[in-house]
Amino acid sequence: MDTETPPVTLAPSAIAFIKKLQTENDMPGFGLRFGVQGGGCSGYSYLLELEEAPQEDDEIYAFEDVRVFVNPLHRGYVNGSVITYEDTLMQAGFQIDNPNIKRKCGCGTSFDV
């Protein structure tokens, strides 16, 4: 595990939801891949998916017993991000507060840094 400051923080709501996904989908020990990918009208969109193991060069961070895998090339795009999970009458899903964003698209699914 990396000992430096993590580029991302998982809020308790996100940790609880990931644990629920792991249990419901028989995915014990799977970690959350967090990063960016090209796409959308503003240039980038988030990559959030459960993976069984980290890739060779990944930075690995633990929040309680949930691991987060971050490709070091993505660190500059996501550094300081906080991931929460919200389940309201209007929407359910992960919310990402990223201080590096300079511009979001109108639909809210892509951004520029």
pLDDT in tens, 43-60: 778 899 999 999 999 999
In a domain, 110, yes or no: no
Burial label, 11 (beta-carbon count in 10 A; 0-12, 13-18, 19+):
middle
**pLDDT, tens digit, for every residue of 21-33?**
999 999 999 999 9
Q: Are 35 and 61 in contact (CB under 8 A)?
A: no
In a domain, 18, yes or no: yes
**What predicted TM-score, i.e. pTM, was given to this entire model?**
0.86
Whether residue 53 lies inside any domain: the answer is yes
Helix (H) or strand (E) holding 16: helix 12-24
Q: Is residue 1 part of a domain?
A: no
**Best CA proximity match to 22, nearest among 64, 70, 79:** 64
Let me know: does 83 contact 11? Beta carbons within 8 Å: yes
The CATH code of the domain that includes 97 is 2.60.300.12
Question: What domain range is 73 assigned to?
Answer: 8-101
Domains in the chain, number: 1
